[in-house]
Structure 1
Amino acid sequence: MVYIIRLMIFVSIFLMSSCSQGQNEKDSQLALMKTTNPNPTVTAENNGKDRAEKIEKDVESFDEIYDVAVVKGKRETLVVYKVKHMQRFNMKKIEKNLNKNLEKKYPKENFTVSSDYKIFLEAVRLVERKNNGTLSNKQAERRFNEIVKMTSDMK
Structure 2
Amino acid sequence: MHITFRLIVLACFVILSSCSQHQQVKDSQLALIKTTNPKPVITDKKNKRDGVTEIKKDVSSLPELYDVAVVKGKKDTLVVYKVKHLHRFQMKKIEKNINKMLEKKYPKENFTVSSDYKIFLEAIRLDERMKSSKFSHRDAENRLKEIVKMTEEMK
- TM-score w.r.t. length of structure 1: 0.85
Aligned residues: 152
Contact 1:48–1:72 (Cα < 8 Å) also in 2: no
Q: C-alpha displacement at 1:144, in angstroms?
A: 0.9
Alignment of 1:1-155 (within 5 A): 13=15, 17=19, 20-23=22-25, 25=26, 27-155=27-155
Contact 1:78–1:112 (Cα < 8 Å) also in 2: yes
Q: C-alpha displacement at 1:49, in angstroms?
A: 1.2
Q: Rate the CA distance shift 1:90–1:22 in 2: closer, same or farther, 3 A.
A: same
Q: C-alpha displacement at 1:122, in angstroms?
A: 0.5
Q: C-alpha displacement at 1:48, in angstroms?
A: 3.2
Q: CA–CA distance in 2 between the matches of 1:69 and 1:120?
A: 7
1:13-43 deviation digits (Å, cap 9, x = unpaired): 58974895433x2x21110111111100110
Q: Rate the CA distance shift 1:22–1:134 in 2: closer, same or farther, 3 A.
A: farther
Contact 1:82–1:117 (Cα < 8 Å) also in 2: yes
Secondary structure, aligned partner of 1:74 = coil
Q: CA–CA distance in 2 between the matches of 1:151 and 1:21?
A: 32
Greater gyration radius: 2
Q: CA–CA distance in 1 between the matches of 2:112 and 2:17?
A: 40
Q: CA–CA distance in 2 between the matches of 1:71 and 1:65?
A: 17
Q: CA–CA distance in 2 between the matches of 1:52 and 1:126?
A: 16
Q: Could you say what the CA RMSD is over the residues aligned between the two structures, in angstroms? A: 2.3
- TM-score w.r.t. length of structure 2: 0.85
- The percentage of aligned residue pairs carrying the same residue is 62
Q: CA–CA distance in 2 between the matches of 1:150 and 1:34?
A: 23
Contact 1:37–1:67 (Cα < 8 Å) also in 2: yes
1:129-150 deviation digits (Å, cap 9, x = unpaired): 2134341101111111111111
1:97-141 deviation digits (Å, cap 9, x = unpaired): 000000000001000000000000010111122134341101111
Q: CA–CA distance in 1 between the matches of 2:122 and 2:93?
A: 24
